[in-house]
Structure 1
Amino acid sequence: MYLITNGLIITEEAILEGFDLLIKQDRIERIALRGEIEWNEHTEVIDAAGGYISPGFIDIHSDYIEHMTAPRPTSLMDFNLSLRETEKELISHGITTMYHSLSIFKSVDYKYRPIRESHNVRKLIDLIDQAHTSKHLVRHRFHARFEIDNLAEIDNLKSYITEKKVHLISFMDHTPGQGQYRDLEVYKKTVKGYQDLTEEGIDELIANHQTKQKLTVEGIREIAQLAKDNQIAIASHDDDSPQKLELVQSFGAVISEFPITLAIAKKAKELGMYTVAGAPNVILGGSHSRNLSAAEAVCEESIDILCSDYYPAAMLHAVFYLAHHCKKNLVDMFKMVSLHPAKAVNIDEEVGSIREGKKADLLIIEKIEPDFPVITTVFVDGKLIQKTNYRI
C-alpha cells in the first residue's frame, strides 16, 4: 500500500487540499482528510511536497512510436527496443495509457517512411498486443489510422479488428485540396520541405492524388460496423465541413480529430462529438498547416481532448498554459488529458480520474520554476513506476 500526502488532489470536481490518498493493490482505496486514513508499517508514505496529484494522462492520438522506430528515412531501429524506449519517455511525460497511432497509408509519393509499410505495421501491432501480457510500464493500445485510398489493406484492417488488436479507429483522407491540406499553397510548401520538386512536378502529384480511387462510403460503413461490433470507438480526421461531420457521425464516429476551423469544432460539439486538438499546437501558438488554433478553440470551449500528436512533452505544459491563457479552471484543463479521452474511448469506468475504486494511475506534478511543471512521481495500476528527484 501507498499513502500519498501533502499534495493537491485533482478530482473530477475540484482540487482537494489537506487530503490524503491511499493506494491498495491496483486501486484508489480511499481519499480522506489528512490523518483520517489508518495505515501500518507495510504502507509506504509518499510526500507530494505540495505538488498536484493528478490522474495519469491518456493519449489517444500519437505517432511518436513511428519516429522512435524510424528516426531517419533510411533507418529502421529494432522494433522491441523502440517500443521499450518509447514507454520510458512516455512515463516521464505522465502518459500512462497510450493509443499508438499507426498509419495504414498507401504511398504518399514525396515522404517515404519504411515504418508505414504493411509488414512493419503488422510487426508493431503484434508487439503492442504482446505488451499487454509481458513486463511493461504503460498501457499500450493501438489506434488504427486508415487512409481511405489504401484499398489493398482493407482485409488486413478487418483482421486486426477481429483479432481484438484495434482499440480505436480513425478514417483519414489527406488528398490535397480538402481536409488538412485544403490550402494547396500549404500543401506545396510541405512537399517542398521533403523533396526538391518543380511546380510542374508538384501539380502532377496533386492531380494524381485528386483522381485516385478511394474507399466508398458503403465500404467505410462496413468497416465502421465491424468496429462497433467489437466495441471500438470510431474517429473522423480533419473534418472541414458540416456535411462531412454529419456523414461520419452517420457511420458511428464519436470523435472529431483536428477539426479544421473553429466553426467546424463548434459544429462537432453541437452534434455531440468529442473534439480533439494537438497539444503541440497549443505550445507552438497555432497549426503548422494554418488550420485551427487549439488555444483559441479551448478558450471558446470547442475542444474536449488534447493529444500529444507527435510530441509527448506537450500535454503537461499545454494544460497549465491553457489554464492561465484562457483563464480556465485547472480541473477542467486536466480533464482534457484524462477523463475526456477516457470517455471518448469507453475506458472511463476504470481510468481517467481520481475516484475511490478506480485504477491507481496517478501523477505527482511539481513546479521547479513558477511556470515550469515537471512530473516527479508516476503510478500505474497502483505500482510506483518512476520517482524523480530534482536537485539544487
Structure 2
Amino acid sequence: MDNDSCIIRGGTVVCPDRVLPDHDVVVIDGRIAAIAPRAAGELDGEPNASAGVLPIVDACGAFVTPGMVDVHSDYVENVASPRPSVVMDLNASLYKADRELVSHGVTTIFHSLSVYGAHIFDHKPIRDFSNVSALIEAVARLRGGEERDHLIRHRLHMRVEVDSVDLYDDVERCLRSGKVDLLSFMDHTPGQGQYRDMAVFSETLKGYRDLTDEEVACIARQQQESDKLTAAQMAALAALARAQGVSVASHDDDSIGKVEAMAALDASISEFPISLEVAHGARERGMHTLAGAPNVMLGHSHSGNLSAREAVTAGAVDMLCSDYYPAALLDAVFALRDECGVPIEQAFALVTVNPARAAGIDGEVGSLEVGKRADVLLVREIACAERTMPVVTRAFVGGHSVFRSHYPDQPLGYGRDLHETLRVRRARARAAAGAGEEA
C-alpha cells in the first residue's frame, strides 16, 4: 500500500450521470487527476515529474466505478458475535470485517451500532451498551490509520431506539465526542413502524423465541407502555448531531405525519420507509430515502413492507444499503439493471454518490471526479450458469491497491454475448408481462 498513483486504463468508467467507455482514470498522490479517453498514458506530457512513469492497471472489459458507500450495515455485529453468547475481540473483528467488506466493493462503511433499552428479540451481548461503547472507540481509532493500516474507511452510525431513555446521557456524550458520523432514531414499538402489522410482529418474535400468543401479547403491551425519549430529547440530540456536522436519519417511517415530524428535526434521511406513499413524501420534503439491497435481491421486503425494486423504479428511493448482507450491494446494482431496466450509472449512484451525499462526505468520496480521493473499483461480469455474475477484481482506496481477485480467464466476448442474450430475454419477458396486465 505504499504506491498511491497509477493509470487505470481502458475501462468503462461509471460517472454519476453517464458511462464513458474505453477511458483512463489517472490517479496521482491518492486523488483522481484526470478522466480521459484511453491514450498513451501521459497527462499533459508528464503525469508526475517526481514519480516518473505511472503504473498501468488494465481495466479493459471492466466497469471502473467509485467504491461503494454503505451507510447502514449491521455486519460487524455478526463478526464480533458469531454466536449469541460469544463476543470476540472487537479490534480483531474490525480487521476481519475490513477484508470481507472490501471484497464486496465497500470502501466506506458506516458500522450501524444499536442503542436499545429493552431487548425483546434475541439478546445479543454485542448490543450491551458496554460493548457498543467499546466498538465506538475501536472504530474511532481506525481513522488514524486510514489509507495506511486498513483496507477501507470506517465510520460510525449510531442507531438510537426511542426506549433507550436511561442511556440518553451516554448517547449525548458520544455525540459530543465527535466519534459518531451518522445518527438515526428507531422505534420498533409493535403496532406502528416496521411492526404496524401485529401478525408480522408476532411471527418475527416467535422466530427468535419460543413464545405463546399470550406471551407475545404481554411483550407487545409492555413495549407500548414503556417510557420513550421525549420529542424535546430527540430534538436536542438531533441539534447536537447537526452542530457536529452529523446527518440525522429516521427509521421505518410509516406515515406522512412521521416524515414531517422527523423533517422538523432536520432529518435528511428516511431509512426503510414503509410504503411508496411515505417514500415519495420523504423525497418531496428533500430527504434521501434508503432501502435494503437484500430487499432488491429477494424481490420484496422480508417483513412485508415496501419493495425496493418498486421504490427505485418509481424514483421514491435514492439509496441502498447492505443492512445485514454486504454481498447484496453489488448484486443489487446489476439486478436493477438486468431485471428492472435501470441504467447502470443510476444503479451505481444508489450505492455510491447518493449515500455519500446524504452522509455529507461527497466532497471527498462517492464518485469518480477530478480532485476526489481515488476510491475505485474494477468490476467484471463473469459467466455463471445462465447469467452473468458481477465480481470485484480490483479495489483502490486513496489510490492504494487494497484488494485483487483472480477469476479464470474466459473467451473474449463470452460473458458479453451471454449477457446480451439474457438482456433480450428479460426485455421480452417484461414486455409480455406488461401486455398480460393490459389484457
TM range (shorter): over 0.9
Q: Which is worse superposed, 234-243 or 110-119?
A: 110-119
Q: Corresponding residue for 1:88?
A: 99
- Cα contact 2:295–2:308 (8 A) shared by 1: yes
* Aligned-pair identity (%): 44
Q: Counterparts of 2:60 and 2:88 in 1: how far apart (Å)?
A: 39
Secondary structure of 2:403's aligned partner: strand
Q: Counterparts of 1:172 and 1:71 in 2: how far apart (Å)?
A: 24
CA displacement, residues 142-196 of structure 1 (integer Å, 9 cap, x when unaligned): 0000001101111111111111000000000000000000111011011111111
TM-score, scaled relative to structure 1: 0.98
Q: Counterparts of 2:361 and 2:121 in 1: how far apart (Å)?
A: 38
Aligned residues: 392
Q: Corresponding residue for 2:392?
A: 375
CA displacement, residues 321-348 of structure 1 (integer Å, 9 cap, x when unaligned): 1122221211111100000001101111
- Cα contact 1:298–1:326 (8 A) shared by 2: no
- Cα contact 1:143–1:167 (8 A) shared by 2: yes
Secondary structure of 2:232's aligned partner: helix
Secondary structure of 1:13's aligned partner: coil
Unaligned runs of 5+ in 1: none
Kindly indicate whether residue 309 of structure 2 is the aligned counterpart of residue 305 of structure 1.
no
Q: Corresponding residue for 2:332?
A: 318
Q: Counterparts of 2:160 and 2:183 in 1: how far apart (Å)?
A: 7
Q: Corresponding residue for 1:29?
A: 33
Q: Counterparts of 1:214 and 1:232 in 2: how far apart (Å)?
A: 23
Q: Corresponding residue for 2:352?
A: 338
Q: Deviation at 1:12?
A: 1.9
> Which of 179, 199, 205 is residue 213 of structure 2 equivalent to?
199
Q: Deviation at 1:41?
A: 5.7
Q: Counterparts of 2:55 and 2:184 in 1: how far apart (Å)?
A: 42
Kindly indicate whether residue 20 of structure 2 is the aligned counterpart of residue 16 of structure 1.
yes
CA displacement, residues 204-238 of structure 1 (integer Å, 9 cap, x when unaligned): 01100010010111110011111111111000000
CA displacement, residues 269-301 of structure 1 (integer Å, 9 cap, x when unaligned): 111110000000010111111001101111111
Q: Corresponding residue for 2:296?
A: 282
Structure number with bigger Rg: 2
Secondary structure of 2:330's aligned partner: helix
- Cα contact 1:9–1:19 (8 A) shared by 2: yes
> Which of 257, 268, 291 is residue 271 of structure 2 equivalent to?
257
Q: Deviation at 1:13?
A: 2.4
- Cα contact 1:7–1:48 (8 A) shared by 2: yes
Kindly indicate whether residue 150 of structure 2 is the aligned counterpart of residue 133 of structure 1.
no
CA displacement, residues 73-112 of structure 1 (integer Å, 9 cap, x when unaligned): 1111111111100010000000000000000112223311
Q: Counterparts of 2:361 and 2:209 in 1: how far apart (Å)?
A: 42
Q: Counterparts of 2:319 and 2:121 in 1: how far apart (Å)?
A: 31
Q: Counterparts of 1:203 and 1:285 in 2: how far apart (Å)?
A: 31
> Which of 396, 404, 409 is residue 387 of structure 1 equivalent to?
404
Unaligned runs of 5+ in 2: 410-439
Q: Deviation at 1:6?
A: 2.2
Q: Which is worse superposed, 242-251 or 72-81?
A: 72-81
Kindly indicate whether residue 372 of structure 2 is the aligned counterpart of residue 358 of structure 1.
yes
Q: Counterparts of 1:189 and 1:231 in 2: how far apart (Å)?
A: 39
Q: How does 1:114-263 map to 2 (within 5 A)?
A: 114-134=125-145, 135-263=149-277
> Which of 5, 12, 15 is residue 9 of structure 2 equivalent to?
5
Q: Counterparts of 1:186 and 1:230 in 2: how far apart (Å)?
A: 37
Q: Counterparts of 1:212 and 1:252 in 2: how far apart (Å)?
A: 26
Q: Counterparts of 2:402 and 2:22 in 1: how far apart (Å)?
A: 25
The code of the aligned residue for 2:397 comes to V
- Cα contact 1:6–1:19 (8 A) shared by 2: yes
Secondary structure of 1:124's aligned partner: helix
The code of the aligned residue for 2:400 comes to K
Q: Counterparts of 1:295 and 1:31 in 2: how far apart (Å)?
A: 32
TM-score, scaled relative to structure 2: 0.88
Q: Corresponding residue for 1:106?
A: 117
The code of the aligned residue for 2:158 comes to A
Q: Deviation at 1:365?
A: 0.2
Q: Which is worse superposed, 144-153 or 9-18?
A: 9-18
- Cα contact 1:8–1:15 (8 A) shared by 2: yes
Q: Deviation at 1:36?
A: 5.3
Q: Counterparts of 1:138 and 1:73 in 2: how far apart (Å)?
A: 27
Q: Which is worse superposed, 273-282 or 28-37?
A: 28-37
Secondary structure of 2:379's aligned partner: strand
Q: Counterparts of 2:195 and 2:377 in 1: how far apart (Å)?
A: 37
Secondary structure of 2:56's aligned partner: strand
Q: Counterparts of 1:8 and 1:200 in 2: how far apart (Å)?
A: 58
Q: Counterparts of 1:76 and 1:353 in 2: how far apart (Å)?
A: 36
> Which of 69, 76, 88 is residue 65 of structure 1 equivalent to?
76
Q: Which runs of 4+ in 1 moved over 6 A?
A: none
